[in-house]
Structure 1
Amino acid sequence: MENGSKPLVFKPNDAVDAAASVNVRGILYKLLDNINKDDDRPTIPLGHGDPSPFPSFRTSTSAEDAVIDAVRSGHFNSYAPTVGLLPARRAIADYLSSDLSYQLSPDDVYLTVGCTQSIEIMITVLARPGANILLPKPGYPMYEARAAFSNLEVRHFDLLPEKGWEVDLDSVEALSDDNTVAMVIVSPGNPCGNIFTHQHLKKIAETARKLRIFVISDEVYGHLAFGSNPFVPMGEFGSIVPVVTLGSISKRWIVPGWRLGWIVTNDPNNILKESGIVQNIKSYLNITSDAATFMQGAVPQILEKTKGEFFSKIIDVIREAADICFERIKEIPCISCPRKPDGSMFVMVKLDVSVLEDIRDDWEFTLKLAKEESVVILPGFALGMKNWLRITFAVEPESLEEGFGRIKAFCQRHAKK
């Protein structure tokens, strides 16, 4: 620099670096890079929840037509209001209200660039000096990553595998203090494949009210339920405790690349409005990117015209895949599943490295599996659970069978003699 001036230097943020190091996408890219390029077999992607490339998971033609109609109309080429187009917000309010005992208003709905931006917004508006947020373990690490960038302290409560991955409410109470701003739940569950029952959700609401915090309910996998527990939205308990619901069309419609999500306030008692949370959400939306206007324009038609047959077909395919996954896991001695999944697209399995000869942990297991068998699964350390694995079963059944065949061969090859 001229005139002896010092160069501008930014010091690394250890919390941000740590959060980035367990970014799901980054880890999956590393595993893909480790695949043997000389292996002529197709790579089996059991590591992330995007089944859209598979023919069985093609989105509905009515959803595709809605996007085409919106683009060709010429009505959605301009900027949208920062909270989102009113017809889209009204359609989402009606769509979500069909599962509730009360009616949401369009004013309760804020449109976002997918559920990822919904997470970013909520974490950012809650961050203040000394504040903390309660997150599930295992959980979706995007929350930790966003909290690190916002200097919001994270405290982890446990999900209990022996109880169907229910929230350990005792640990929630033990972790909470006067600086706790909210707790996050994910149902249907990523990464566990669980669905919280009506009774358990009510207990969560009552615990949060007792602690004077509100609940952020991540329902991006809403309605992807195929087991014994039906999907129940946390917003049903908004009269007990304020609930902020995060969601999108990404998973139920199998269109994660369309990037249309929402934040919804389930708050009949107006506590979020009186506390300033609602205004902070609006203020953040004023300074960030909006969901594509043509996607907002397509939402009413997507929600109205998609037939029930499409949803039933997707559920049938996922149910078959979950059955295959659960049965094949039983055939592999080094992994075990504490509970058959009820929903979403994932299952958590425990890895027993003591029966393997040259594998020390879940990271080494997934690295060698990718290299030797061209199968990609997510190591549990990325989700806060060392020596666990997250397996995605939302792939073609034939690919899933092939993937588990390779995992079984891999484990047999590395088993202690």
Structure 2
Amino acid sequence: MSTTPTRDSWKVEASYIAKNTHNPIRSIVENIVIEPNPNKLMIALSIGYQSAREAVADYSSNEFVQVDPKDVILCSGCSCALDLCITALARPGQNILIPRPGFSIYRTLAEGLGITVKSYNLRPEYGWEINLDDLEAQIDENTAAIIINNPSNPCGSVFSRDHLTDILDIAARYYVPIIADEIYEHMVFPGRTFYSLASLSNDVPILSCSGLTKRFLVPGWRMGWIIIHDKQNILDEGIRQGLVCLSQRIIGSNTIVQGALPAILRNTPQKFYDDVIDTLYEHSRLAYSHISKVPGLNPIMPDGAMYMMVYIDLTCFTEFKSDLEFVQCMLMEESVFCLPGQCFDYPSYIRLVITVPKEMLVEACLRIQDFCERHHCKTSQTINELDRIGIKY
């Protein structure tokens, strides 16, 4: 439990950068109140597609939450969306809370702005749920925002409705807004359900970040968005306006994709989504089945996204001092490359990506098994002994 005095009410102020980023084009356009000629088709050649924002609003609305196009800010990918949210909400001397293990870009973006990063722990033994006591203990009077990543990279976890409600209760108690990284929204496996934080929040302001890249399998198209969910009007106008102006520092997101966005979001058939989930689920079960049999490794079955975290019992691989050494040697000997847990501030793990073709995934798992059996203390001793007495292994 946090014992440091914290806020006693909602006081969320825009950062200096957000307040002082000014785009004259945006200011002029937003203050034009003249109605176009109703007898002629409107042709917009100014700053982008309102229809794209409307499409995102429609796509993100459901029976639990309704999104207004004015609350949508288009960005150059989801990482850009996260950058803008952190930049707008926090300033040097403040801190943001990020998950551990978690996507490293959060730290990169914050520390580059002079913002302190504090980590709260996830619990692998409970499917990577947040350690709520640890989350609460990290909050102090300088905490500007909490980043919640659900579904998770690198864990592939999907939080339950009750768990998300508990998270919101903590944020409300300490008056801290949330940046919701929900780029893997809807990418959940059978038996699990995705709940957006905004659909469950009555008072906590949520800046929800998402985009095209993951669900629609279009990496590199650089189309993301922020949705401002602020039912109680807690965020000051400086934050809302600051997010808009910050998004214009690079003039705007990809206008070609903006033009295609309504058709992509509205016309993509459900079968496409279903096929993607079916493939990822099959691959996750396949990888889990193989890796579970590998001596010295302990995979944690994901509930969504496209990743799997695997624990390395380094006491079984005494020649390696770290997960990084393990990964480097496996790359050199087997040409299989996984990211070490150090990339996510979580040593003794590796992260597998399960999006590769099925045959390639099986081959990778077999190579991982060969590598581990060759370097595992007990199995390697057995193999050496069989070799010594002339029995082919």
| Alignment-derived partner of residue 177 in structure 1 | 140
CA deviation vs aligned residue, 1:246-299 (integer Å, no higher than 9, x gap): 00010001001111000111111111245x321221221232341111110111
Spell out structure 1 runs of 4+ moving beyond 6 A: none
Describe how 1:200-219 pairs up with structure 2 within 5 A: 200-219=163-182
Describe how 1:17-416 pairs up with structure 2 within 5 A: 80-81=47-48, 85-98=49-62, 100-274=63-237, 276-337=238-299, 339-416=300-377
The structural deviation recorded for 1:237 is 2.3
The structural deviation recorded for 1:238 is 3.1
| Alignment-derived partner of residue 60 in structure 1 | none
What is the TM-score with the length of structure 2 in the denominator? 0.83
Kept after mapping to 2: 8 A contact 1:115/1:261: yes
What is the DSSP-based 3-state SS (H/G/I as helix, E as strand, rest coil) of the residue aligned with 1:182?
strand
Kept after mapping to 2: 8 A contact 1:123/1:150: no
The structural deviation recorded for 1:130 is 1.5
Kept after mapping to 2: 8 A contact 1:135/1:156: yes
CA deviation vs aligned residue, 1:350-374 (integer Å, no higher than 9, x gap): 1111111422210001111111111
Aligned length: 336
The structural deviation recorded for 1:79 is 5.9
What is the DSSP-based 3-state SS (H/G/I as helix, E as strand, rest coil) of the residue aligned with 1:294?
helix
| Alignment-derived partner of residue 20 in structure 1 | none
Give the whole-Å Cα distance in 1 for the aligned partners of 2:120 and 2:338. 24
Matched to 1:365, the amino acid is: F
Query: Between the two proteins, what is the percent identity of the paired residues?
Result: 37
What is the DSSP-based 3-state SS (H/G/I as helix, E as strand, rest coil) of the residue aligned with 1:402?
helix
CA deviation vs aligned residue, 1:289-323 (integer Å, no higher than 9, x gap): 41111110111011111100111111111110010
Give the whole-Å Cα distance in 2 for the aligned partners of 1:210 and 1:249. 33
Kept after mapping to 2: 8 A contact 1:246/1:263: yes
Higher RCO (C-alpha under 8 Å, 6+ residues apart)? 1
The structural deviation recorded for 1:162 is 1.3
The structural deviation recorded for 1:346 is 0.6
Tell me which moved more, 285-294 or 312-321.
285-294
**Do the aligned partners of residues 260 and 364 (structure 1) sit closer, same or farther apart at CA in structure 2, a change above 3 Å counting?**
same
CA deviation vs aligned residue, 1:158-185 (integer Å, no higher than 9, x gap): 0111111111111111111111011011
CA deviation vs aligned residue, 1:113-170 (integer Å, no higher than 9, x gap): 0001111111222232310000000000001011111010000000111111111111
Give the whole-Å Cα distance in 2 for the aligned partners of 1:263 and 1:105. 12
Matched to 1:91, the amino acid is: A
The structural deviation recorded for 1:349 is 1.2
CA deviation vs aligned residue, 1:376-401 (integer Å, no higher than 9, x gap): 10000110111111111111111110
5+ residue gaps, structure 1, are 1-74
Kept after mapping to 1: 8 A contact 2:203/2:232: no
Matched to 2:55, the amino acid is: A
Give the whole-Å Cα distance in 2 for the aligned partners of 1:394 and 1:79. 39
CA deviation vs aligned residue, 1:182-224 (integer Å, no higher than 9, x gap): 1011111111110001111111111101011011111111111
Tell me which moved more, 145-154 or 235-244.
235-244
Give the whole-Å Cα distance in 2 for the aligned partners of 1:330 and 1:240. 43
RMSD, aligned CA: 1.5
Matched to 2:104, the amino acid is: P
**Do the aligned partners of residues 386 and 166 (structure 1) sit closer, same or farther apart at CA in structure 2, a change above 3 Å counting?**
same
Specify the structure having the higher radius of gyration (Cα). 2
Matched to 1:92, the amino acid is: V
Give the whole-Å Cα distance in 2 for the aligned partners of 1:289 and 1:158. 37
What is the TM-score with the length of structure 1 in the denominator? 0.78
5+ residue gaps, structure 2, are 1-42, 382-393
Give the whole-Å Cα distance in 2 for the aligned partners of 1:394 and 1:318. 7
Kept after mapping to 1: 8 A contact 2:76/2:224: yes
